[in-house]
Chain A
Amino acid sequence: MARGDSEFVEFVQAASGRLLHAAYLLTSDRHQAEDVVQTALARSYAAWSRIRDRDPYAYTRKTMVNHVIDRWRRPIREHPADVVPEQAVAGGQGVVVERDWLMELLDGLTPRERSVVVLRHYFDLPEADVASELRISVGTVKSTNSRALGKLRTTSTNGGSR
């Protein structure tokens, strides 16, 4: 195995868990998540000689998020529901219920809101970096994030809060 390939394998082993988790937050679908991460990693491998000494993780993350956004724009994509259904709360299943609550909240966001929220609050990226990765202005990141968190508050108040 070439040195570059060894480095790439190490990179995949280190980064894939977090990328898959983020992809799932973006898509709500395990198979789609695995598919988009696979695609993003393949593109990173194709560009490995260019990116290996820079920030391959940032490159792959950016590729993945924009790939997801592109899938949303395609005509055959599924659209997230406009209305978040009320959450039935079961006792003794705290983590599962919390995850269901989270996914319903995310499904209630627009694609851009969802991307901003995941980059900002899962990857903990500064607003400027989110703007750069999504190719939008910092002002748009701020307003989109604010709107998404507003929906979060509203939904929690209306039925998701425990």
Chain B
Amino acid sequence: MTNLDRFRAAMHEPPATPFAPVDLARVIAEGTRMRRLRQARIVAGSVATVAAVAAAVVLGASWLRPPDAGPVGATPTITTPSSTTPSVPPTKVEPGLGEMIGDMIRSGSTNPAGELVFYMHGLGQGRIGIVSGRRVADGLVNDRYTASEFDGPDLAPGFHAASVAMNNTPAFGYYVGPVAKVTAMFDGKPVVARQAEWSEDPSVKIWWFDPPVDEPTNLTALDANGKRLPAGHPQFGRG
């Protein structure tokens, strides 16, 4: 028997103890939730969404910053970049129509403001945006920062919604395509972003840079072979 034969035979050996049976009720419940959220993305948006689009057009700005507080993924309240942040107690994360789409991505990176998290949310009329925030112990998400594509489809290949770091928000954005590595230049040196797949669409990768990388340049996407991928909109915006 060759090593390869032995290797293949060992791979097909059944486990010593059986795996726990799949929890079908949980699978169906979770799958139903995913399906509803996907449908919610398709459903035409609310009045506030129209306001969001109108605000973006009128202001010529791509960076829409909602108030710090309020239900995560709730109908976005649009403020101009110069708006002040009202002090309202944060509320629980509860996905719903037009709200958070897919799973929340927990980075594992914490500071006194909480754990850095990201999620995608619906903007209505089939549009989506990305949110960065700080999750505290009881599941509340504070310091939320919202960005979205400013020119063209949200899911076109390339970079979208790239945003510089500020306060508790890192430099972050999302990329659509088979990206294996997101790189940039900072202080004259190459830096590599962390990234995570969006649960609703594996072609969407959320990326972010660890401090002190706050305003990187030359954002580049590389595939698994190191080949450069379409750039899309790699320009960084700011709120």
Binding site for B on A (CB under 8 A): 5, 8-9, 12, 16-17, 20-21, 24-25, 30, 33-34, 37-39, 41-48, 63, 66-67, 70, 73-76, 95-96, 98-99, 101-102, 105, 112, 118, 121-122, 134-137, 140, 149, 152-153, 156, 161
Contact = CB atoms under 8 A, between A and B. Distances in A.
Contact of A122 (B3, B12, B28, B196): B12
Interface string B41-84: 00000000000000000000000000000000000000000000
B96 interface: no
Interface stretch (B13-21, B119-127, B129-137, B154-162): B13-21
Interface of B: 3-4, 6-16, 19-24, 26-28, 30-32, 34-35, 38, 107-109, 178, 194-197, 199, 202, 223-225
A161 B27 contact: no
Contact of A105 (B7, B12, B16, B23): B7
B183 to A, nearest CB: 14
Contacts, number: 121
A74 B31 CA distance: 23
A142 B116 CA distance: 38
A118 B23 CA distance: 25
Best-buried of A21, A37, A101, A161 by chain B (most CB within 10 Å):
A21
Kindly list the 5 A-B residue pairs having the minimum CB-CB distance in the complex, ordered from nearest: A45-B31, A76-B108, A46-B34, A42-B30, A102-B10
B3 A156 contact: yes
Given A38-B26, A152-B4, 4 more contacts: A38-B23, A74-B108, A102-B10, A134-B224
